[in-house]
Each structure stands twice: as C-alpha cells, then as structure tokens.
A and B are shown apart, each in its own frame.
Chain A
Amino acid sequence: MFEQIESAFRSIVSAMQIAQLYTTAHPRFSKFLDKAYDELQAILKSQSELVFGIVNGELAYGKEIFFDLSKNLSLAIMRLQQKGVERISFYRGLEKKELAKFIEYLAAPKDEIKKEIEEFLIFSGVKNISAGRIKSDGASNKSASEDKDSRSNLYEASSQNVSRTLQDVLSDEGVDYLNLRFTLSTVMENLITNFEEFIKLTTIKRYNLGTFTHSLNVSILSMFFSSKLHFVKDDVLEIGIAALFHDLGKLHISNKIINKPGRLTDEEFAKMQSHTIIGAEVLLKHVNTLGILPVVVSYEHHLRFGSSGYPKLTFFKEPHVASMIVAICDVYDALYQKRNYKNNFSPDLIYDIMLKEREKVFDPKLLDKFFSMMGVWPVGAIVSLSDKRIAVVREQNEDDIWSPKVEVISPAEAKEKIDLKEKKGQLKIEFALNPWVEGKEYLALI
C-alpha cells in the first residue's frame, strides 16, 4: 500500500514537472497524467479518501513521513509549499479532468494564477480534490523573510540535484535530463522574477556545499547573463545546463587522481590542465540527452577571445558566444570564491582584475555588458559610503556601473534608500566590507 501511495505521488510530481517544462498540451503530459490518475484510482478503490501533508518540508501520509522520497523531490515539495499547498486530499469519484486542473495550477508560473488554491479548485468545478495550508488561521500571505528562506532552500535543493547529476555523469550513469532541466528551470523562473536575491546568494552568502557550488554558481550567473542578452528561454536553459558541466573534466580527473595514493606525477598535473578536452570527451557520450552545447562549452571555456588560450587548436575557430558567456561567469565566480576571512577579494578588485584582461581573455563588449548588469558592486554587497554610513546594494543602474541604488543599514534608524547615480559628486561607495570579517555583523541586516 505504502509503495502504491509513494508511486502515485511521484507520478503527480512528474506530471507537474512536464507541464511546467512543456505545457499541458504536450503529449508527454497526458501520458504522465494518465499514469497518476490510474494509480490514484487504484488507491481510492480500497479507501474513500487519500490525504498527503507537508510538514517542515517533508512529505507525510497519515502518521508516516516519506524521508527518502522527500529528499529526491525536495524541489517539487518546495514548489507545492510556494503554491500554498501543504495538504492535499483526493476523494473517491475523482475525475481525470479534475486532476488535470489541479496539476495545471501547480505547474503555472508564479503570479500567473492569482487565486489561492482553495478558491481556484472551487471556481474550476473540482469537487474531488481539496488542498490548502495546514495553518487554518487564514494568514496566507507569506512574509518577506519566508520568501527569502524559500530561495535559500531552493538554492540548497538545486545544489543537491546538480551535484547528483554531475556525479551521475562522472560515474558514467545515465542523466536524469528531465529532473536536471526541471531544477534549472525552477532556478531560472525564480531568477527572472527575483534575480537580485539569487545573485546575492551566489555572491555573498557562500553556501559551502562542496565541489559543486562553483558549477551551480556559474550556471546561475550564465543563465542570468544570457537572459539579459534577450536569449529565449530554451537557449538560456541550455546555456545553464552547459555551464553546469563546464569543469566536468576537472571533476573527472580529480576523482581519479584523488583516489590514487601518493604524489601526483608531472603527467598528472598536465592532465589536470587538459580538463577542457577530457570534459568534452566525457560529455560526448551524453550528446543524446544533453545536446552538443555542453561539449562545446567544456572544450572552449578557456579558449579565450581570439582563441589564444587552451586547448591549442590545430584548426582555428573563435569560441561560441555561449562559451564566452560561461568564461566570464567562470572567472567572476572563481575570483569571488577567493574571498574568505583571510583575503578580502573585494568586488572592485575583481572588476579591476577582469578589466585588465578585457581584450586578451574576454570579448570586450561582452565583458562590458556583463558588468553593466552586475555592476561593480553586486546586489547584496555591504558597502561603506563616502559619508561613513554602511549600506547594502539593492539594484544596479545599467548605465553607471559604479553607482547602484543602495539602502542604508547603519546607522539603522532611518533605512534610507539612495540612488547613487542621482547623488553623483556628493555621495559614492568607498569600499566594500568583507562579509567574513568586518561585514559579518551586518549580514543579519540585509
């Protein structure tokens, strides 16, 4: 019985993900819908009602909590919560079109359906499903901090999914492409509506989630950047996926070399350098599922503007625009990672370093565009203003990368919002505080 219920829930989630990625009109959707419906029907034969609950991010049935299941489906469960769905009841007599309506609601982009789930179900004539929050105090409006938390959770959950995928590829297993796409498209969706928060996560709040953090950060940055370049959604997603794998060769080599006892030979060092080629070759095996872009990006991301980097090409070709985007995001994130309690790699220093390489490494126009959207002081940076007040960067001015919009956090009394572009000549940012050291005390305030 338990397995049956677990499987039914999985099918509902799969249908939701398909609908989210491809719309409910896609033939794959009706396949999953049928499956979920049949499974629910089978359960509802022996019981008149089936109730799921979500308690503290875990999925529960009756008094049991599906721990294992919850881990795999954490993103989906988060989405249910975001949509205000903490309990779901299916009743005997359930019709397929009712289930389809319900899933449609879950899959719809944020803000597309304004109604709460209870209201939506009633208005849509769905009688055999009820859903809503567990709290019955009617306070359905989420607070800002709750929203922020959900994004942190999203980042963490994405990171877990991403590391699982990367590990699958590394251990030569098949890739769950659908799940990967779903993960990144969830990230992307949140990125577009609230990208500052996300950028903040990637630039300041360093989650130490191991080796794969860099991959995810580069992926997120690349998606953000390419959406700013007005690429269509599918292309943005594809670049995100490719960016995720850009250093796969490195992981592949270190997996092998690290497991090897003793010191590294010169040859092994040289091999580490050829991570671009090795990554491309590993990804060649996954072209059927991942497409050709990951191969191209892995091979080209150190090629540099003008193809003067590595690998050395026998037959010359300029790197593809996707590779140049990832190259910029790669260096940006790598430099940011250098910041810790010992080193203050401040944002303006990173800008200076990258600008020095403007012509040599990067496509200069593309680099300019990158900083026009990131700013020198990225969103979330804690900065000291020329009047000695401490502020946090809230928003960029694309035509003036040095003067973003900030919010004063210390002294804390008047949380003044200032557009530094309008105060040019009077007020400016002097330096950024290292969040590991002197900026630490302000972290709670931003």
Chain B
Amino acid sequence: MENEKEAIIEEYLRNLKITFTTSSFYSKDHPSFLRSVEDFKQKTDEILMTMPAIRVGVTNTALVVDGKEYKKKGMDELAVLLHSRKIKSIEIKRGVSIEEISSFMSFASLRAREILKAGGIVHALGLAKNASLVVEELDYSQLLKDAGEEVKDIWIVLLDHAVNAKDQKKINDLADAFGNVSAKFKVADFNENKDLWGHIEKLMSALKESEKERFQKFNKDIVKLFLREKDICPQDSLKDLEKFTKDMASNELADILMEQMVSNENFDATSFKLLSKFMDKKKQEEVVSSLVEKLKSSDDPEGKQKLNKRITELFLSEDSPISEISRHALGSLLKNIAFESKFAFNRNFLHINYRFILLNLLVSEKDQEMLAQITEALYTEWEKIAQDRDWTYFRNLHEVLTDKIEHEPALKEMFNGLFERIFSVFEEALMLRETIQYQDYFVKVIDFSAKGLDFYLTKIFDEGIIEGDILRLFLKLFPEQTGVFLQRIELKHTDVEFIEKLIAGLKLLDFDQVVGIFESIFNASNEFLKIEVLKAMGSFSESDPEFLFSALTGNGSADLKIEALLIIMRDPELSKRAAKLLLDIPDFWGLKSEKILENIFIVRQAHLKEAGAYLLSLSRNIFFWRRRVKEAAKQVLGEWNV
C-alpha cells in the first residue's frame, strides 16, 4: 500500500519535472507550454483526489514528500534547479487553478538570476499564503549571503519590503548586509532608482536613534561607496553624500581615511577633497588630529611608510584643503616617521632582496654545482616567494631558466623543480581568479601542469571555475584527456547554468580545440542548450559544415535549424547546398507537405536568398493538394520582393 502511494507520488513528481522543463523552453503562450500545463493540472487533480494537498519539499539533492526523499534521476535535477531558485517548498492544494499553475511554471522556469533579481518568486508573483499554490522560500537573509551579481537587486527588493513593513529586524539585517553588498553597488544605482534614496533615508532614520553602531557603520559603507566612484560621480549625487558625513564622528572619518589611504590605491587628492568638502574647519581639524594619534600609535612600519607617502601627497600639497595648523602638525609628524620607516629593518624587503640576489646569481653563474646550490636556495625560499605573487619576478625567473637551458640543455633536469613551482603558483592564482600580470605569457609558456588533472576537473566541474584561460590550459596540458572531460560534461548536462558558462568559456578558445567538445555537448543536451551551442559556434569564423548540415536535416526544432542555417549561410556555396536540401524534396503526392512547410518557414526566417529558385518552383505548383506549400512559397517570395 505504502509502496503504491510512493509510486504515485513519484510519477507525479516526474510530471512536475517534465512540465518544468517544457516551461523553460517555450514562452507562456506557446501551444506546447499550454498543453503541458493542462496535462499537469489534470495529474494534479488526480492525485488530489487521494489527499487534500501535496507539499513538495526541496533540498539541494532531493525532493521530499511526506518525509520521504525522492532522489532518482530527474528528481535530483529538479531539486537542484528549484533550490538554486531559493525555493524551500511548493504546496499545491485542491482547487488550484490552471492560471496559478501556468504563472508559477512560467516564472519559476526563468533563469535563477532573473528570479532573484525580481526579488524572489513569492514577491514577484504576489503569492499569498492562503492561495491554492503556495511557495515557501529560503530565509531572505540567506539570499544576501550569496556573492552573485544579483545580490544587489535582492537587497533593493528586500529593503523595499522592510521599510514598507517597518520591520526593524529586517532593516537591521539589511544594514548589516550592506557592507558585503555595497561592492556591487554603483552611485548610478541611486540616480536611476529614485525610490532607493527614499528607502535608504527611511532605513537611516530607523537606525539613527536606536541603533547607533549600525547607523555609523552603514554611513561608513555608503561613504566608501561614493569614494570608490568619485571620478564618475555626478555633482548632484555628491550633495547626497553630505547626508552621511554630517552625522559621523571625526574618529570614524579618520578611520575611513586611514583605511582608504592604505588599502585603496585609487584614493587620491580628488577623493580626499571630496571627503573634506563635507567637513567644516572644526571637523577637519578634529579628523586630522585623530589621524595623527592613530599614526603615532601604529606599530606597523610598512603601513606607516605607505601612509606617509599618501599623506604627503594628499594633505601637504599646495592646494590641500586642510588648514595651515593641521598641515603643520602632520608635516612634522611625518618627518619622523619618514626617517624611522625608511631605515627600519624590514624583513619583507630583506626577503625580496634575497630573492633578487638569487635571480641575479642565477644569471651570472655558470658552474653546475653552484647553480644547483642556488636552485636549492630558491626551493627553501619558495614559500615566501609564492606568497608575494610578484609576477614580474616569476616571468624573469622563467625567462632566465629557459635561456640557460637553451645554452646548456643538460640543465633542464635541474631546473624542472623551479618550473614546477612557477607553474604551480600560476595555476593556483588562476583558479583563485587573482589578477595575474603577464597572464598571456604564462598561458603561452606553461608546458606541463604542476597541479595535475584532478585539480582541473575539480575546479571546473565541482567549483564551476571555467574562465576561458582555464579551459584553454586544460586542453593544452591534457590533450589526451578530452574523453574524461566530455564524460564529466555529460554528467552535468542538465545543469543549464553550468553548461551555459562552459559554452561561454569555450567560445574564447580556438575553433579546432573546441569544435569536438561543442559537438559532444550538442549531442548530449536539450533543445535549449543545442541552440546555445550553435550560437557559440557561430561566433567563430571557421565552421564544421558536415556537423551543421546534420543539425539542419536532423529532427531538431525549427529554431535550432535556423541557427544552424545562419552559420551555413556565411558560405555562398554551402548556402546553395542548404537551399537544395531544404526545398528540393520530391513530393508529388504532398505527403511531405508539413516538412516542406517547416523548411519554408526556416528559409524565410534565415533569409536564405539562394532558396529563391526553389520557392519559385514551389509557388508554381498546380496541384491543389499542395496548395498550402504553394501559398507559403508565394508569400515568402512576396516578402522578398522577388
């Protein structure tokens, strides 16, 4: 009995999955979509005969009904898709209408990014708790923890809710999250979205009295945001900045100054002027003296040195906006710091000098034994060298080693460990998405992987790091492993977003390297991805005609064939062949009318002018049973003015 019930539920979930997939391919009023929704409504009605409501829970690996996990193939994929849309559960009750199902399906099957941008499903569809289709979402604060681009939009939407509902807890949480989210904001966002200003003002007044600390921190985050963009910030937005600086304590402002001067390379005279513009003389002096105190008590010589340089540039320049007294106080303080820090015993510098000495020794040394010694010393020092990520150094080292091997091939073996270390740092940095100076150089010279196959597979397939150069390297360093690569793709083929990213990455590589991979993805994917693959292939100047023709004549959708045809049409000879293939179909008895009609549609959409002659001949047909084909052909010719 129990098993029977589970079988029914499983069948129902399978239908849910099918409907969901169909929804993602067709627009809301496409007949296929409508039919699929109707089907699903019927299945729902059937299952709700035995129970008043069905509640489908979602984890990131399975669907859950009545405490039982359903994780067979298909279910698990649906679970992942729903989970990435932040859906915690879906409950469908007796009496659910076809409109409810249809609007849920068409919205929920949008890209996850778009859904989040709209503030989540519940918000966007205005789903009420007492409706017949109820969706429960993951906790909203969970949404803000993501690092994706959409987090900004989510924040805006949630702020809108929170201030309208006067929900103090949510307001607090949003203020806390802003430090994290603000990196995604641009000042332009405030100009474009005038409501946003209103909301932020409400947020601030909600914090100002009762949440002093939060209020200060929020102000700080906003000021930093403005400073970041001071160059492109329009003048009237600057006036807004005053709202924030006005209520800030001078030590808070000094904090920002310190922090920005040390950590933000772009913090310059303009930033400083911007900041000081909104301080009166008294406040300025307070800020400067607070700054002096902070400098005095700092015991980080390197930081001091950096600050010293920045302060000289910013405060002591001719047109410095700060007062004479403040300038004087800072100036004399700096003199001391300057001497102290210039002649401090700086261990970092010591290691840098040491590593340069090793490099210079390597250049001049010819004795093999000595070279081995230097190599050994570099190994010992490597942990520090790797940490510093001095790409010029890595490049120089690589060039020196290569050059030496060129003159003395026997050295290759000795230097292998150094090459391995250089490549290891490079591969690691690449995977961490660090900025790498001379990235192209390293991509070019790396000739073996220090990290190994599994490292790449894990990064690409488990962590989704698929920037162009990573794929390029994979194909370069593991030419024998394309098979494994394709296998892993196949395992992931239902993960639409992953495959999309993968396609985007592959697009940046050379055609010869990727055409095979594209074809494999094409063969393993659904309709939607097939089209994406074709679009990507269209971005290369080269093409694989046989593959394109097989797509054109296969049993894919019209949309897909149009995509294939568009690429084919870049070559006039191939265009002729395509026209013939599509329209020169012997069909005396009209048995293939449907097929020909579809092909005419394709030809028309793609503007395949080479089809003109065939269309003409089709339009002259005298047999009534081929009237539809004749009309269609005529119409296209008419449109083309032929």
Partner of B374, one of A284, A314, A321, A369: A284
Interface assignment of A319: CB less than 8 Å from any CB of chain B: yes
Complex interface: stretch among A118-126, A288-296, A403-411 = A288-296
A319→B353 contact, CB < 8 A: yes
Q: Which 3 A-B pairs have the closest CB atoms?
A: A317-B356, A235-B345, A320-B353
Q: 1/0 per residue B311-349: CB within 8 Å of A?
A: 000000000000000000000000000011011111001
Interface residues of B in 353-392 (CB under 8 A from A): 353-354, 356-357, 359-361, 363-365, 370, 373-374, 377, 380-381
Interface assignment of B350: CB less than 8 Å from any CB of chain A: yes
A315→B353 contact, CB < 8 A: no
A239 cross-chain contacts in B, Cβ below 8 A: 345
B346→A281 contact, CB < 8 A: no
Which B residue's beta carbon lies closest to that of A316? Answer: B356
Which B residue's beta carbon lies closest to that of A285? Answer: B373
The dominant DSSP class at the B interface is helix
A293→B356 contact, CB < 8 A: no
A selection of 29 A-B contacts at a CB cut-off of 8 Å is A226-B345, A229-B343, A231-B345, A239-B345, A277-B361, A277-B364, A281-B373, A281-B374, A287-B377, A292-B381, A293-B350, A295-B357, A296-B350, A296-B357, A299-B357, A311-B364, A314-B359, A315-B356, A315-B359, A317-B352, A317-B356, A320-B349, A321-B342, A321-B344, A321-B349, A322-B345, A365-B339, A366-B343, A369-B339
Partner of A292, one of B351, B359, B374, B396: B351
A235 to B350 alpha-carbon distance, docked (Å): 12
Interface assignment of A300: CB less than 8 Å from any CB of chain B: yes
Interface residues of B in 243-282 (CB under 8 A from A): none
Which A residue's beta carbon lies closest to that of B359? Answer: A315
Interface assignment of A154: CB less than 8 Å from any CB of chain B: no
Interface assignment of A33: CB less than 8 Å from any CB of chain B: no
A71 to B547 alpha-carbon distance, docked (Å): 90
Interface assignment of A313: CB less than 8 Å from any CB of chain B: yes
B353→A317 contact, CB < 8 A: yes
Closest Cβ of chain A to B495, distance in Å, is 47
Q: 1/0 per residue A191-232: CB within 8 Å of B?
A: 000000000000000000000000000000000001001111
Partner of A315, one of B350, B351, B360, B370: B360
- Beyond A277-B364, A317-B352, whether A365 also contacts B342 by CB under 8 A is yes
B357→A321 contact, CB < 8 A: no
- Beyond A296-B350, A317-B353, A320-B353, whether A230 also contacts B340 by CB under 8 A is yes
- Beyond A277-B361, A299-B357, whether A315 also contacts B349 by CB under 8 A is no
- Beyond A277-B361, A292-B351, A315-B356, whether A321 also contacts B345 by CB under 8 A is yes
- How many residue pairs bridge A and B at CB < 8 Å? 75
Interface assignment of A157: CB less than 8 Å from any CB of chain B: no
A284→B352 contact, CB < 8 A: no
A277 to B345 alpha-carbon distance, docked (Å): 23
A311 to B361 alpha-carbon distance, docked (Å): 10
A287 to B377 alpha-carbon distance, docked (Å): 8
B370→A281 contact, CB < 8 A: yes
Which A residue's beta carbon lies closest to that of B362? Answer: A314
Partner of A321, one of B346, B352, B363: B346
Interface assignment of A40: CB less than 8 Å from any CB of chain B: no
A319 to B350 alpha-carbon distance, docked (Å): 9
Closest Cβ of chain A to B423, distance in Å, is 21
A336 to B223 alpha-carbon distance, docked (Å): 60
A314→B363 contact, CB < 8 A: yes
Closest Cβ of chain B to A232, distance in Å, is 8
A315 to B397 alpha-carbon distance, docked (Å): 10
Interface residues of A in 310-338 (CB under 8 A from B): 311, 313-315, 317, 319-323
B339, B343, B346, B349 — most chain A CB neighbours (10 Å): B343
Closest Cβ of chain A to B341, distance in Å, is 10
B365 cross-chain contacts in A, Cβ below 8 A: 281
Interface assignment of A107: CB less than 8 Å from any CB of chain B: no
A369 to B338 alpha-carbon distance, docked (Å): 14
B352 cross-chain contacts in A, Cβ below 8 A: 317
A86 to B396 alpha-carbon distance, docked (Å): 61
A322→B361 contact, CB < 8 A: no
A284 to B373 alpha-carbon distance, docked (Å): 8
A320→B350 contact, CB < 8 A: yes
Interface residues of A in 228-274 (CB under 8 A from B): 229-232, 235, 239
Closest Cβ of chain A to B441, distance in Å, is 16
B396 cross-chain contacts in A, Cβ below 8 A: 315
A232, A281, A285 — most chain B CB neighbours (10 Å): A281
A311→B353 contact, CB < 8 A: no
A219 to B541 alpha-carbon distance, docked (Å): 70
Which B residue's beta carbon lies closest to that of A298? Answer: B357
Closest Cβ of chain B to A369, distance in Å, is 8
B340, B357, B373 — most chain A CB neighbours (10 Å): B357
Closest Cβ of chain A to B578, distance in Å, is 59
B361 cross-chain contacts in A, Cβ below 8 A: 277, 280-281, 299
Which A residue's beta carbon lies closest to that of B380? Answer: A287
A280 cross-chain contacts in B, Cβ below 8 A: 357, 361
B360 cross-chain contacts in A, Cβ below 8 A: 299, 311, 313-315
Which A residue's beta carbon lies closest to that of B352? Answer: A317
B350→A292 contact, CB < 8 A: yes
